[in-house]
C-alpha cells in the first residue's frame, strides 16, 4: 500500500514531507548495503521522501550510501545533511558542504544544518550558509541540538532564515515541550524529531505495546503517529529494512482522539518544569 503524501510547511513557505528517514549508522556494514538502499527507496515510494544524513555519520559513509540510493531519484527527495561544529567556520563550512555534495552525488542540498553548538561564532556559520544559498549549493539552513537560549542566539546572530531545529524528541524524551518546542512553533520553525523510538526503548515498552495492540497498531507506529500529531514536528525514523519502512509509513494513516492522547500523556508524562536539553 502506497500512502498519501503528507506535508508540513517550512517558515519560508515550502511544503516538505511530514515523515522522513534517518540514516545514522547506515552505510557502516557493507553486507547490509543492499537492504539499506532498498529501505531508502521504499521510503521514497511510500511518502517518506525526506532523507536526513550528516558528514559525521560513518565519516561520510552514510552520505555515500544515500547518494547511491537516490541516484536517478534526486528530484523525488528532500535531502538534508549537517556540518560538524569543528567545520563551522566560514571557509570550512563551504568546503564541508562541497565534500558532502560530492559524496551524495548531487549539486545541492535542500537543507543544511549545524550539527550542534561548538566554539565557532554563529555569525561565521550563518555567513557561510548564506553564501552557499546564494551559490545554489543549499536551499535552506537550520540547526540541530540547540536549546532555547542557543536557538534564540542563533536567530539574533543573523540566522533568521533558520527553518529547522533537529532535536531528540519522543514519548520518553519530552523536555523540549516546556519552553523550546512552543517557541519554535510560534516562530514557525519545524522541529525535526530524531530517535523517535528512543533508541528502541519505546518499541520494547510493555505499556506502549499494550496500548498499541488494543488499537491494532505496533508500538513504533504509535510513537510516530503521536509525533505526527504535534504541530510542526517532523519525525525521521531510521529503518534498515523495507518491511520496517512500510510499517513506519502506515503511521501517517493513524488518527488519535482526545482520549488516546490523554492516555499516552498518562503513560509518558510531559515535563513539569524546565529540563536540560537531551542529546544522543
7 is catalytic: no
Contact yes or no for 48/245 (Cβ under 8 A): yes
Measured between alpha carbons, how far is 97 from 112 in angstroms, rounded to an integer? 8
Cell 561565521 identifies what position?
124
Active-site hit among 57, 122, 169, 194: 57
- Active-site residues, by number, are 57
Amino acid at each position: 500500500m502506497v500512502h498519501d503524501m503528507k506535508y508540513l510547511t517550512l517558515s519560508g513557505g515550502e511544503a516538505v514531507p511530514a515523515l522522513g528517514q534517518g540514516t545514522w549508522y547506515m552505510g557502516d556494514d557493507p553486507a547490509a548495503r543492499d537492504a539499506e538502499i532498498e529501505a531508502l527507496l521504499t521510503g521514497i515510494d511510500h511518502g517518506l521522501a525526506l532523507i536526513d544524513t550528516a558528514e559525521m555519520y560513518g565519516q561520510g559513509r552514510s552520505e555515500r550510501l544515500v547518494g547511491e540510493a537516490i541516484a536517478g531519484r534526486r528530484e523525488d527527495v528532500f535531502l538534508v545533511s549537517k556540518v560538524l561544529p569543528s567545520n563551522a567556520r566560514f571557509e570550512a563550512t563551504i568546503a564541508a558542504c562541497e565534500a558532502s555534495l560530492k559524496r551524495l552525488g548531487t549539486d545541492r542540498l535542500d537543507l543544511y544544518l549545524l550539527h550542534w553548538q561548538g566554539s565557532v561564532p554563529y555569525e561565521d556559520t550563518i555567513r557561510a550558509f548564506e553564501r552557499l544559498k546564494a551559490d545554489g549549493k543549499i536551499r535552506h539552513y537550520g540547526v540541530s541540538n540547540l536549546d532555547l537560549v542557543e536557538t534564540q542566539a542563533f536567530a539574533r546572530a543573523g540566522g533568521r532564515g533558520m527553518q529547522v531545529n533537529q532535536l531528540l524528541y519522543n514519548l520518553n524524551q519530552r523536555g523540549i515541550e516546556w519552553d523550546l518546542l512552543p517557541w519554535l512553533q510560534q516562530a514557525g520553525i519545524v522541529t525535526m524529531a530524531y530517535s523517535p523510538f528512543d533508541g528502541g526503548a519505546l518499541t520494547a515498552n510493555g505499556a506502549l505495546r499494550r496500548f498499541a495492540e488494543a488499537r491494532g497498531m505496533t508500538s513504533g507506529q504509535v510513537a510516530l503517529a503521536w509525533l505526527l500529531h504535534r504541530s510542526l514536528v517532523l519525525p525521521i525514523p531510521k529503518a534498515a529494512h523495507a518491511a520496517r519502512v512500510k510499517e513506519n509509513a502506515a503511521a501517517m494513516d493513524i488518527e488519535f482522539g482526545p482520549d488516546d492522547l490523554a492516555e499516552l500523556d498518562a503513560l509518558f508524562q510531559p515535563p513539569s518544569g524546565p529540563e536540560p536539553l537531551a542529546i544522543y
